[in-house]
Structure 1
Amino acid sequence: MSARLASHRRRAAPLAAALTLAFVLAASSLLAHAQSAPKVVDIPARPGVTQRFLFIAPAAPKAAAILYAGGHGGLQLDPQGNFGWGANNFLVRSRMLFVDDGVAVAVVDAPSDRQSPPYLDGFRHTPEHAGDARAVIAWLREQLHVPVWLVGTSRGTQSVAAIAIALANPGANPGSGPDGIVLTSTILRENRGGDPVTGMNLSALRIPVLVVHNKDDACKLCPVSETDTLMQKLTQSPRTRLMLVSGGTSRGDPCGALAYHGFNGIESEVVHGITAWMLAP
């Protein structure tokens, strides 16, 4: 072997080692972000009633989020994971952003006894709705052994707040409630009967609460000017934050999924902000 060739090989060896290390690190990163295939899960919730949700998890989830859509909440999820309604809802269409950030998701449909109109309308404040959520929380904890959060948008915030309050009640099974909640585009006024979120017993919440709102939201039920009132009612929560965003694109109904109300065009910014706050030590 010539001296020149030997010298070339000596110089090339560190480069080859560095390239090998880079490949291994890249492969490890891809593996860390690998995810389970989405699957539809049906679990018993109440006597004769099952609760269906679409479950997706990263390889090593740091937390889990149960996602509650707005509107009437009847996603009409089929066994193959297709949505008959609500595919454009902010949380439904952004579900993979949570997974990419290391958070497993359960996209919740209406339960089996609410699979026709009015779906979740008139049901979100009920003990039965809280019981259905308790079953999903328990299933996720058993499967993943990570903190479980409830995340709602628009009328889904009524579900999340009502469930968390019900499961915080001294009569509830200890530890059956969520580890924290996130309210996005919160219902602050009501036109269908029942309570807006600000009309609920928010002082019962002793878990972290994140509130996310678009300053440009033109939905008459969600005036940004009333978010301060919401925050002031979270008197017992150990950690709270009001995250105000702005911009995006608005199309159609100002209370719709593709308006500012639905964080259209700024989904990544909003979800990354949510997961960063959820996963903060």
Structure 2
Amino acid sequence: MGKSFKLVLAVAFWLLAMPARADDGARVVDIPTRPGVTQRLLVLAPPVPKAAVILFAGGHGGLQIAPDGSFGWGKGNFLIRSRQLFVDQGLLTVVIDAPSDRQLPPYLAGFRQGPEHAADVRAVIAWVRQQSGLPVWLVGTSRGTQSIAAVATRLSRADGPDGLVLTSTILTDPKAPAVPAMALKKLSIPVLVAHHELDGCSHCAYSEIPNLMQKLSALPRKQLLSFSAGVSQGDPCEAMAYHGFNGLESEVVGQIAGWVLGR
């Protein structure tokens, strides 16, 4: 029996064993993380997954995923609305909610860079690896980049992700460490940065990107993907502005997947 066939069987068995199924074929699952705490995930699988991505929304991060897979908040977020695009690229796609003890305001605000968040994500990474046998990448957008960068700098190489994708990165922040201010020198994994040149969010000015890339300069594999097209509507820090790659979803996800998969 070939390795790829075994992988397909393993993923199929995994999905069949999950307790709830959403209308789009996704599965909702709760896994234990810290004592008395569970982490809810929405999992979508292509027929033959080639790698796994865990998607971290921005904002307060409290998606409030229901048992039927619907979202109480955040369904328009760039990564959340684009989740099927990742699946279509051959990626096992996991959407992560706030943990069970952070299901009320302020949700992940003030939590993203702490040890408990890192412990939760470590458990999710381990679970995805155990169930699928796939390399696991963390993909964050906006405030989600603060989550994945902080987690990756806290976890060991064995427990942490196989790579990071930072989209619409938080580059400056007066209230908490922005991504360039984190201990990025601890990283040894590949890092992809995707950013819109016209991002109007005050925390994500494209002029700050060189500072981030300089902090990643020692990594053996890193790249910046820049975008300049699309549509900007509403608040410049929200999902339908350039900040959320409005109108560019397929292009951005396609390039991310190609880089993750080494195409």
Three-state SS of the structure 2 residue aligned to 1:116 is: coil
Residue 126 of structure 1: CA displacement?
0.5
* 1:80 counterpart (68, 71, 75): 68
Taking the aligned partners of 2:145 and 2:115, their CA distance within structure 1 comes to: 16
Q: Name the counterpart of 1:42.
A: 30
Residue 91 of structure 1: CA displacement?
0.2
* 1:271 counterpart (226, 231, 253): 253
* 1:204 counterpart (164, 169, 186): 186
Unaligned runs of 5+ residues in structure 1 are 1-30, 169-173
Three-state SS of the structure 2 residue aligned to 1:210 is: strand
Which stretches of structure 1, 4 residues or more, deviate above 6 A after TM superposition? none
Residue 56 of structure 1: CA displacement?
0.5
Q: Tell whether 2:196 aligns with 1:218.
A: no
Unaligned runs of 5+ residues in structure 2 are 1-7, 16-24
Taking the aligned partners of 1:56 and 1:178, their CA distance within structure 2 comes to: 19
Q: Percent identity?
A: 61
Q: Tell whether 2:158 aligns with 1:175.
A: yes
TM-score where L is the length of structure 2: 0.90
Three-state SS of the structure 2 residue aligned to 1:46 is: coil
User: Across the two proteins, how many residue pairs are aligned to each other?
Assistant: 242
Three-state SS of the structure 2 residue aligned to 1:51 is: strand
Q: Structure 2: which amino acid aligns with 1:216? A: L
Q: Name the counterpart of 2:132.
A: 144
Q: Name the counterpart of 1:243.
A: 225
Residue 84 of structure 1: CA displacement?
0.4
Q: Name the counterpart of 1:8.
A: none
Question: Could you give the per-residue CA deviations for residues 80-112 of structure 1, whole angstroms, max 9, x where no partner exists?
Answer: 100000000000000000000000111000000
TM-score where L is the length of structure 1: 0.84
Q: Name the counterpart of 1:125.
A: 113
Question: Could you give the per-residue CA deviations for residues 36-57 of structure 1, whole angstroms, max 9, x where no partner exists?
Answer: 6201110000000000010011
Taking the aligned partners of 1:163 and 1:186, their CA distance within structure 2 comes to: 15
* 2:148 counterpart (131, 153, 160): 160
Three-state SS of the structure 1 residue aligned to 2:225 is: strand
* 1:104 counterpart (86, 89, 92): 92
Taking the aligned partners of 2:217 and 2:231, their CA distance within structure 1 comes to: 34
Q: Name the counterpart of 1:53.
A: 41
Q: Tell whether 2:170 aligns with 1:187.
A: yes
Deviates more, 1:86-95 or 1:226-235: 226-235
Residue 235 of structure 1: CA displacement?
3.8
Q: Name the counterpart of 2:19.
A: none
Q: Structure 2: which amino acid aligns with 1:112? A: S
| Contact 1:250/1:259 (8 A) holds in 2 | yes
Larger Rg: 1
Three-state SS of the structure 2 residue aligned to 1:244 is: strand
CA RMSD of aligned residues (A): 1.3
Q: Structure 2: which amino acid aligns with 1:139? A: W
Taking the aligned partners of 1:208 and 1:227, their CA distance within structure 2 comes to: 17
